[in-house]
Structure 1
Amino acid sequence: MHRFPDRDALVDVAAGRRWTYAELAADVDALALGLLALGRVGSRPEAVVCWHTDRLVRVTKDLERVIALGVNVHAARAGHLDLSTPAGRAVARTVTAWATYEGEQKAERQALANLQAAKAGKPYTAGIRPFGYSEDHLAIVPAEAEAIREGASMILAGESLSAVARRWTEAGLLSPRSIAAGAKAWSLRGVKKVLTSPRYSGQRTYGGEVMGTAEWPAILDDATHYGVVSILSSPDRFSGGPRTGRTATTLLAGIAVCGVCGDTVSGRGYRGAKVYGCRWTHTRTPREVADKKAETATLARMVCPDFLPTVIAMNAGGCDADTAHLQAGLKSLRERLDGLALAYAEGAISLSQTTAGSKALRTKLEEVESKLSGVTGLPPLDPVSGIAGLIGGWADTPLPVKRSWVAFCTIVTLKPANGKHARNMTPEDHVSLDWHHLAEEGEE
């Protein structure tokens, strides 16, 4: 029985007919399912009493389930429906059809009102407040907003969703929805949903499409938001490669390329062995073989007589630590633009998000390009120990620095087996290496 009308009215209907009732149901769906269950076990009620027939059944399929029970329906405000006769069933179906029509009309009116509110930038305040904003869905909650900014920065820096989830959980900043569900920690899905939501860049969406600027203040700027969206929405996410939200754990992931398709490779396992391979698995190059070749070639390039003069010349051209940082930022922005396009092609984000994101990232890209003005960047280099110190301490050099120098010095191409068995392949069969930044390039 429906919760809104006074339940006493329904009890009175039963009492006036000297009926006893076995159950009072406050939920329409629960009542219909309960009746059906009783019908299946052969313990059907003699009649059903409800406030109004459209409170019992609102769509035809539900009515047919009640008809199948073969019981009469008595409504406190709509009389008696004799479902045992063709005429009674016809009346019931007509009443239900009109109830369905009214329900659909109401839904359309509500959808139109929601759309208009979205276009005006107004928040959708039904339900639990979003993480980062107060109960009115407008005012920023400072501690949560700062956590969102920090999480976005971590993703852009190459850290994982897991790292962000741990940081937020350890800070005791659970989302209101998680608290309501009794969760004790952030899930990766929950973190991703927050960091990719247009809400946090001050945009109002409806049905997944960006409608325009929202009434509430943004927590993230557009370039940051869409940079994160590109990383976390890209179908090409893998450990250590480009457009990824994970910290690099292998030397050549995202640096070496497949000799067949030209895509960058990722680290993976194959029959218990650690290998590098592209998404199409054209190659399964043993990591140990590829890493050793790449590191040896990098160090060999560094000891070449022309290498130090080349680096000095590049620095003399204005490439200081700041410009190297800008160069890295330029590469990252271009990858994020590619990531947005790929995410849209795969259906991970909408067209409106892609358009808005591309505009924001291109604006940022133009700013960085204007600052660089053609300066070439270098990986980090200790100004005291220089190249000699880098070579001498290579074994203890952090992986990110090693990756930077390998990418700067070499072009690593991994070759397919071409029918050969792995145990019969030499390192040269697996890996092809060329050098970047030769003396001729520096002299041009």
Structure 2
Amino acid sequence: MKRILIKNAKIVNEGKIFEGDLLIENQFIAEIADSISAKPDYKVIDAEGNFLIPGAIDDQVHFREPGLTHKADIASESRAAVAGGITSYIEQPNTVPNAITQELLEQKYQIAAQTSHANYSFMMGGTNDNLEEILKTNPRNVAGLKLFLGSSTGDMLVDSSDALEKIFSSTKLLIAVHSEDEVTVKSNLEKFKADYGDDIPVKFHPEIRSVEACYKSTVKVIDLAKRTGARLHVFHISTAKEVELFTNKIPLEEKQITAEVCIHHLWFTDADYETKGNLIKWNPAVKSENDRAALWAALLDNRIDVVATDHAPHTLAEKNQVYTKAPSGGPLVQHAVVAMFEAYHQGKITVEKIVEKMAHSPAKIFKIENRGFIKEGFYADLVLINPAMPWNVKKENILYKCGWSPFEGTNFKSRITHTFVNGELVYQNSKVSDTKAGMRLLFNR
């Protein structure tokens, strides 16, 4: 039996921080106590002064495999994820081919079983005409259903009202949506193309992918969920106007409609387009300082339930094209947790709240089995963070296959020192081990 003893950690779990020891036996957390005595066969890690948190669960990533592996793959991006303290991820279906049949979906699971450093699940993709395939999806071992209500990377737009009604009425799966109104976005784009052609200044991206485009779509999809009783999760909320549509009046476990915010919408504003350009071109767009402030407020008062990344890498060559050809999205999994800890240092959020939004809440929303908490009997998906170990993001320490980060040049005060996935020490001393410790996530439903 493999045993690892973590001593003197500041253990963060369920709204509390307490100093103590934690024993890992094989894949699981075996004991948590004020003090645990080491035995000769224990590997001992002294965590004095460091936070021990449950590994982050990223409910929205795009790892680009199969079909787009020139910019990312499951092996490369899951390596970056564990280096960044993300021990489980839910990947999206807009790969090539799109994961819109059970056979194509299962092929992605087979790739991950051989190559993933982190725990994994893959969303089934919805289209205007694949309801029969959707209804075959097993809720026990598939995270949910993903619908694109606004076009993004790939061609998975669901724009038929009849199809949406049927999907929402028919499936008990959690339905996660990319919510932007396609008609509004296209109309806005044509106006700017009339003035600038294809070379539209990227500063106009939030006017093309506008507040109204987001709000109109989100109102519509929330109304549909309420009418049909569907379980709805709205990805990457980006506007002050949208957060008013969500509630904090009931416990998370009772919510039928939940919301996510992404790191880039909490970090950047439209003022950053001047220096970052297409590197911060995302769908939905990074918007105003007022929008960012409203997202923070909604995150802290629990109208927004989850912090995720929408990790979506592209090559620099792709990003350096003119506006209409430059794809939206950017890499984030390696820097998401430390970015949130930077907000902790700035007094914006507590460590307990970071853990709630990046580990506990995703586990609850998706009903993930035995993960997302530091509890005896749970899988040992754990991260040690030194809050006083500064470092700088440079090309040479970026692990994404695309080789760049919107955080390049940023100084972070906190550093992840150790990451455990299913009890395996997969990251230590800035190195990811060769061990592919990831397991397929299971769900209590």
Q: Same fold (TM over 0.5)?
A: no
Structure whose alpha-carbon radius of gyration is higher = 1
- Answer 1 or 2: higher relative contact order, Cα 8 Å, separation at least 6: 2
Structure with the higher fraction of residues in helix conformation:
1
Structure 1 or 2: more strand by fraction: 2
